[in-house]
Amino acid sequence: MKRIVIFASGSGTNAENIIEFFHNRDNASVIHVLTNNPRAKVIERCNKLNISCLCFNKTAFIDPNSVLKILIMQDPDLIVLAGFLWKIPGLFLKAFENKIINLHPALLPKYGGKGMYGKHVHEAVISNSESESGITIHYVNEHYDEGAIIFQAKCAVDPNDSPKLLAQKIHQLEMKHFPHVIASILEGDG
């Protein structure tokens, strides 16, 4: 049984979608969710779904004897960043090389980097009159949104799209593709 740990900072819709996708599967399951936001809605979603959720602060995140130690003890096959906004420390990357993936709400390498998340990405895409946007699922490395790309899916950006409307289109792509890509990665892991 493959073990998935999710990091999330916000509403948790992607985390919930992933948890539900792997529920009752015999090859993989979400074993834990971690969040850096004590007010994140993902906590309520985890409680409802009976999934363990741990909240941590910046000090615990960078302390090798705290969050990293917990992760090492849980021995996940894959760590999934689903709306998690902090940069992953180098010690995590060494301990879980090629086992941490992220979902980004744009077609990387465009519109990535520090501060490019949520509505900021969609506003930039629209203000630059892009004709398409989408999602990118990629491995995490030491730089924001620069890890090797695993998967991309596209959607049209219409001239009258607002950032909110574009966010809805992107969210549909996330819900459709993210769990399947995670499953493919785990199946390819041998």
Phi, psi torsion values for 139, nearest 5 degrees: -70, 150
104 is catalytic: yes
DSSP letters along 75-109, please? --SEEEESS--SPPPHHHHHHTTT-EEEEESS-TT
Amino acid at 86: W
Q: b/e for 118-143, b at 16 or more Cβ within 10 A? A: eeebbebbbeeebeebbbbbbbbbee
Rounded-to-integer distance, Cα 42 and Cα 183, Å: 21
CB burial of residue 177 (10 Å; 0-12, 13-18, 19+): middle
| Given 32, 104, 122, 138, the catalytic residue | 104
Catalytic residues: 104
